[in-house]
């Protein structure tokens, strides 16, 4: 454990105006990082961007928030989760009382569920 250290060659682009509230790294490739924010931002990053030799700023593959997308949540995103066996699908939950199932490739909602209370996980 004493040998472990964080990589200083990769940084994330400043995508969120508020805090990051949830993240999930895909289990299929250990590569794609979903993140949700207090400002309704949903972003997808490819963690294999760049190289270990130079500092790389990872820009999102896509970034959605309520101001620029009709699919976005209306309030804070409280949870994100990849479909366990396929990176083509993921689920988000929000304080807007919706759980949404997303098509990753199209960055669009496939279906949504309105729930009686805020979604926390």
Check residue 69 and give its pLDDT. 86
Check residue 70 and give its pLDDT. 86
Residue 39, in any domain of the structure: yes
* CATH code of the domain covering residue 92: 2.40.10
Check residue 68 and give its pLDDT. 83
Query: Which range marks the domain in which residue 100 is found?
Result: 17-47+59-114
Residue 104, in any domain of the structure: yes
Residue 10, in any domain of the structure: no
CA 92 – CA 102 distance, rounded (Å):
8
Residue 3, in any domain of the structure: no
Count the domains in the chain. 1
Q: Which residues contact 5 (CB under 8 A, 6 or more apart)?
A: none
pTM (2 decimals)? Answer: 0.87
Residue 91, in any domain of the structure: yes
- Local structure of 113: helix, strand or coil: strand
121: Cα within 13 Å, side-chain hemisphere: 0
Contact (Cβ atoms closer than 8 angstroms) between residue 93 and residue 75:
no
pLDDT tens for the chain, residues 1 to 121: 567 666 677 778 889 998 999 999 999 999 999 999 999 999 999 988 866 667 788 899 999 998 888 889 999 999 999 999 889 999 999 999 999 999 999 999 999 999 999 999 8
């Amino acid at each position: 454990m004493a040998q472990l250290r964080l990589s200083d060659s990769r940084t994330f682009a400043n995508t969120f105006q508020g805090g990051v509230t949830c993240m999930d790294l895909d289990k299929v490739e250990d590569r794609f990082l979903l993140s949700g924010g207090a400002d309704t931002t949903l972003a997808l990053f490819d963690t294999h961007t760049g190289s270990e030799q130079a500092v790389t700023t990872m820009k999102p593959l896509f970034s959605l928030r309520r101001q620029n997308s009709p699919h976005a949540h209306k309030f804070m995103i409280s949870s994100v989760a990849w479909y366990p066996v396929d990176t083509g699908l993921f689920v988000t939950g929000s304080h807007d009382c919706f759980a949404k199932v997303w098509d990753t490739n199209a960055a669009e909602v496939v279906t949504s569920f309105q729930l009686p209370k805020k979604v926390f996980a």
